[in-house]
Structure 1
Amino acid sequence: MTATAAAAPPQPVPVPVAARPVAVRLRRARPGLLVCGGVLTVVLLVQGWNTAGFPALGDDEGTYLAQAWAVQHGKGLAHYTYWYDHPPLGWIQLALVTWIPSLVSPGALSVAPMRYAMLPAAGASAVLLYVLARRLGLRRWAAGLAMALFGLSPLAVVLQREIFLDNIAVLWILLAFCLAASPRRHLWHHFGAGLAAAAAVLSKETMLVVLPALLVTMWQHSHRDTRKFAVTGAVTACTLAGLAYPLFALLNDELLPGPGHVSLVDGITYQMSRPGSGFLLDPGSGAHAVLHSWLYYDRLLPLGGLAAAVALVAAARWSRTGRALLGPALTVVILALVALRPSGYLPAMYVIQLLPFLALALAGAAASVAGALLRGRKRPAVGRAAVGLLAAAAAVLVVPRWWDGNRPALTADANSGYRAAVHWLRDSGHVPDPARTRVLADDAVWLDLVHAGYRPGTGAIWFYKADLDPAVARTLPHGWRDVDYVVASPTVRRDAATLPVVRAALEHSRAVASFGEGEDRIEIRRIGPTEKESRWH
């Protein structure tokens, strides 16, 4: 050993992040916390403002909330016969969220006020998206941009307010991606990602198609020496947790079809055999109408995010950003391909599952373009000027459109008709004995009727069940003649064509009150004594 080597000072040993003092870590994280906290505050204000007034209440929202009510009150997994239409974890979580406000005010457990339960889910999803963007290598401004795109797009503001299982599933899948991209590469993080992925699928089953993209992210971020263990553990954890659903059906003797009971196989068969919405790009198809409704609110996030995702996947081999965002970009591509199936059913809430990944892809593409412009060493000032001009142009094009798109969500009252109809049936004295009155209504007002004293299931009747549930049909031996009122909302009028009892009830009733105008009106229709006399002859 030489004297020079012997005199060399010892190299400092790097201190692991977890071992650093909390004050040091907080100081280093302060800029990111400010960005994330600032954007989150704006997102929560925009999404929380007037959430009970806009958009119009939906039957699906009422169904999920009524199922949560059934869980809270020990009435099983649904307010009617649970027929395995969706895994129940989504509304079980909703029951936990709405449990405290329902204790304080049982009458508040109805769709409009309980939309505020979606606000924590939206905020948590936005924070997880920021964390994921940072873990995938995006700078703070780009992560904040992804968060803003996800939370402030008019399309997101409308759909994330509504009580949809997709909003809960998105939170879990974002958590799974964050754990899969953990910088510590801990095996337990990957197992946790598998459990979170299972929770996403059990909240909304369509999340199953996203799992291959999650595995890509996990493969990229796992350590080479432990990669096989990490991926195997995640897959095992996800599979074992997911098997709880068919195991539940098996233990209830409802796994396979049979006489006199529902079954998981029947539920899956129904979902797979539902009439398709047609080809997404066919102007005459139902799927195209759904696409048009999305683009009505916002074109930037769906179209720009899809283009960015395709570009990132194509550039994954030679672009660092494309390689880092390959998993989220693949998620967009996979979900878009599923939506393009002509034989598939495309619901309006399907795009919720795409929103965070569209925002992340668009922010990643913007970061890639900005980085390319700023890397020019000969004329860095020109690059900075170009980035500034592009940012200003984007703001000029997007901000006014989003301002106009979000204005109805912040100011309009689309639910005054529902409130007036419930008041008429509950507080006005028009129905002297709700406990002995039978009302057909959609699930948007079902819980309101239950709180008003109508018997759940046989007094307040979800209109579909009058035709489709044998247990309810047995309580209506004379069909429509056993019904007293019909709350004819747009949903009831639209779907009555395929429901004989509901259609006959509408045909043999007269409007005694009407709230709103045009196709959006809510009518209360009375089946009068003259029509009901025929049951006795």
Structure 2
Amino acid sequence: MRAWNLAGHPFPNDDEGTYLAQAWAVRTGLGLSHYTYWYDHPPLGWMQLGALSWLPELMAPERTALVQGRMAMLPVAAVTSVLLYLVARRLGAGVVAAAAVVGLNAVSPLAIALQRQVYLDSFAVMWFLASLALALSPKRNLWAHCACGVSFAVAVLSKETIAVLLPALVWALWQGSDRRTRGFSLAAFTAGAAVLLGYPLYSLLKGELFPGGCHSALVGALVWQIGSRGGSGSVFQPGTVANTLVMQWLRADPVLVIGGIVAGFAALALRGVRPLGTAVAFLVLVVCRPGGYLPKMYAVQVVPFLALALVIVVERAVRAGRARYGVQGPVRRTVAAVAVALMAAVLAFGRWPQFREVQRADLNAGYRAAGEWLNGPAVPDKRRARLVTDDVLWLDAVRAGFTPGAGVIWHYKLDKDPAIVASMPHGWRDIDFVLVTPTMREAQAELPTLKALLRHGEPVGDFAYGQIQALRVTGRSAEGASTAPSVARPLLPCLREADDIWPYE
């Protein structure tokens, strides 16, 4: 399900390009990625992505960086499926119900689309499910509870937003530990989770824990993420980013989203599965909080727990009905078969149009054609040429021979990054080519240098009926000097030598 049509659907997200570039930088050491401003996410996510990305490059070298990155996510999806089955069993589900959890997550159009994409959330969910399985280990060994803490730390160091599920994990640990040794179990978990301290310790040793001077800072990034970042609006107010995003999730898979949320809150009343209900409740509360930031990939963390809740609560209801009415033998098996058939029919009817789109639509033909253009002869001296493009195509340009840094430039940096501004004394005239994507067209209103480039660009390539265009910048011989944008100007004193950014005359 995940592998079929991963090159065609879904449409690329900018974050996929960012994570791939950071994984490339970690794995190869050939240069910095384009997104190097601050303590963005903890580094373990793209370190894992870098460790997996060599195999798709070896197996399918002709593919774009985006497709290779999505191929690297397939093993993560496979391990996540195994862990879903294990967690379901340890929460008391039967073999059939546990397999149904895996199947529900596997065929959900929402899960297929999001888990195909290169998101750090997929690594975080995988490690959190591992920690949940260890917390619920039937042997109740202290080593398992220590490993549970380590696994949780790895999950948070992969994507920090998974930390919202800590209360659910502690409840599971409380439930899965022996009353006589519960204190030791919690201590073992805490000792394992202390791995998390390595991240702030790293920033402290680098002198980058607190803001100040000309360096990024971990605390500064956290303050911005929590208090200064623009919110997505209320999920209950039509037209806001949050409301639009949730509506997209509902259209993709209404059965799983609505049924899973209802089942998750119902699980809070059922003995043995309250940790699961707690997880769903906290995940939903994050979505509903007013004024908070809600990223598109957040559903990656939510979907597996909705699948767990929906199937396990339905199984509990079937068991209760069977016990109450004394259904036995062949009648019980017939009722179970009819119930399974009805559920499958409801799921199939509600999902077929979305499932067909996910498996057949080709939304990325322009990106594939642009990748071929980058590797072609259209730009004779790529090492010295200067190209502007978006996150998704940045790594393809680097692999095609363009110089990382100020050779291939992420479009956002043209007016925001003082190092790039310093390397462009003549402004837009210092750029040779622009590879224009839909993201860049939307951003030009806020980026005057990008807007000038699009105005002075001569089309030399058109891909997927104008989805992406290659432009050669004209009028570059005209005199004119650049003035640093107001956003970048205060940071210019932090630069020592622009030659470190662009060494060519």
* Aligned residue number for residue 375 of structure 1: 323
The answer to whether residue 299 in structure 2 is matched with residue 354 in structure 1 is no
The answer to whether residue 151 in structure 2 is matched with residue 192 in structure 1 is no
* Aligned residue number for residue 264 of structure 1: 218
- The Cα shift of 1:77 comes to 7.0
* Aligned residue number for residue 331 of structure 1: 279
CA distance in 2, matches of 1:378, 1:491: 60
C-alpha contact (below 8 Å) 2:374/2:396 kept by paired residues: no
C-alpha contact (below 8 Å) 2:234/2:289 kept by paired residues: yes
Q: Output aligned runs, 1:96-115, within 5 Å.
A: 96-102=51-57, 110-115=65-70
Q: Output aligned runs, 1:509-524, within 5 Å.
A: 509-517=457-465, 521-524=467-470
The answer to whether residue 416 in structure 2 is matched with residue 462 in structure 1 is no
**Which AA in structure 2 matches 1:326?**
R
Q: Output aligned runs, 1:304-453, within 5 Å.
A: 304-313=259-268, 315=269, 322-380=270-328, 386-427=335-376, 429-453=377-401
* Aligned residue number for residue 535 of structure 1: 480
C-alpha contact (below 8 Å) 2:31/2:404 kept by paired residues: no
CA distance in 1, matches of 2:369, 2:303: 34
CA distance in 2, matches of 1:334, 1:268: 20
**Which AA in structure 2 matches 1:426?**
N
SS of the residue corresponding to residue 50 of structure 1 reads coil
Q: Structure 1: which 5+ runs fail to align?
A: 1-45, 316-321
- The Cα shift of 1:535 comes to 3.4
**Which AA in structure 2 matches 1:265?**
V
Q: Output aligned runs, 1:168-207, within 5 Å.
A: 168-207=123-162
C-alpha contact (below 8 Å) 1:108/1:114 kept by paired residues: no
**Which AA in structure 2 matches 1:457?**
G
- The Cα shift of 1:146 comes to 0.8
CA distance in 2, matches of 1:483, 1:143: 56
**Which AA in structure 2 matches 1:391?**
V
Gap change, CA 1:214 and 1:379, over 3 Å in 2 = closer
The answer to whether residue 196 in structure 2 is matched with residue 250 in structure 1 is no
C-alpha contact (below 8 Å) 1:107/1:451 kept by paired residues: no
* Aligned residue number for residue 119 of structure 2: 164
SS of the residue corresponding to residue 496 of structure 1 reads helix
CA distance in 1, matches of 2:209, 2:36: 15
Of 43, 51, 54, the residue aligned with 1:88 is 43
- The Cα shift of 1:75 comes to 5.0
* Aligned residue number for residue 96 of structure 2: 141
- The Cα shift of 1:424 comes to 2.4
Deviates more, 1:455-464 or 1:107-116: 107-116
SS of the residue corresponding to residue 257 of structure 1 reads coil
Of 433, 438, 443, the residue aligned with 1:490 is 438
Deviates more, 1:464-473 or 1:101-110: 101-110
CA distance in 2, matches of 1:445, 1:367: 46
CA distance in 1, matches of 2:218, 2:126: 25
C-alpha contact (below 8 Å) 1:374/1:384 kept by paired residues: no
**Cα deviation 1:307-363 (Å, max 9, x = unaligned):** 0001111x2xxxxxx222111221111011011112111111001101111110001
CA RMSD of aligned residues (A): 2.1
TM-score, structure 2 normalization: 0.90
Return the index of the structure with the highest Cα Rg. 1
Gap change, CA 1:532 and 1:267, over 3 Å in 2 = farther
Query: How many residues in Structure 1 have an aligned counterpart in Structure 2?
Result: 480
SS of the residue corresponding to residue 180 of structure 2 reads coil
Deviates more, 1:498-507 or 1:289-298: 498-507
CA distance in 1, matches of 2:387, 2:434: 6
CA distance in 2, matches of 1:536, 1:257: 33
CA distance in 1, matches of 2:128, 2:327: 42
SS of the residue corresponding to residue 512 of structure 1 reads strand
- The Cα shift of 1:178 comes to 0.3
Gap change, CA 1:460 and 1:106, over 3 Å in 2 = farther
C-alpha contact (below 8 Å) 2:127/2:151 kept by paired residues: yes
- The Cα shift of 1:423 comes to 2.0
Q: Structure 2: which 5+ runs fail to align?
A: 483-505
**Cα deviation 1:137-185 (Å, max 9, x = unaligned):** 1101110111111121000000101110001111000000000000000
**Cα deviation 1:214-261 (Å, max 9, x = unaligned):** 0000000101111011112212321x2111111111111111111211
**Which AA in structure 1 matches 2:373?**
W
CA distance in 1, matches of 2:109, 2:334: 30
- The Cα shift of 1:80 comes to 4.7
CA distance in 2, matches of 1:288, 1:377: 43
- The Cα shift of 1:61 comes to 0.7
C-alpha contact (below 8 Å) 1:106/1:451 kept by paired residues: no
Gap change, CA 1:422 and 1:534, over 3 Å in 2 = farther
* Aligned residue number for residue 286 of structure 1: 241
SS of the residue corresponding to residue 298 of structure 2 reads helix
- The Cα shift of 1:432 comes to 1.9
Gap change, CA 1:206 and 1:251, over 3 Å in 2 = same
CA distance in 1, matches of 2:309, 2:25: 39
**Which AA in structure 2 matches 1:137?**
G
**Cα deviation 1:482-535 (Å, max 9, x = unaligned):** 1122222111122232233223322333433322347xx11223321x255233
C-alpha contact (below 8 Å) 2:234/2:242 kept by paired residues: yes
SS of the residue corresponding to residue 391 of structure 2 reads coil
* Aligned residue number for residue 499 of structure 1: 447
CA distance in 2, matches of 1:532, 1:325: 70
Give % identity.
45
Gap change, CA 1:286 and 1:220, over 3 Å in 2 = same
Q: Output aligned runs, 1:210-229, within 5 Å.
A: 210-229=165-184
**Which AA in structure 1 matches 2:251?**
Y
SS of the residue corresponding to residue 2 of structure 2 reads helix
CA distance in 1, matches of 2:428, 2:461: 20
CA distance in 2, matches of 1:109, 1:522: 15
Gap change, CA 1:267 and 1:198, over 3 Å in 2 = same
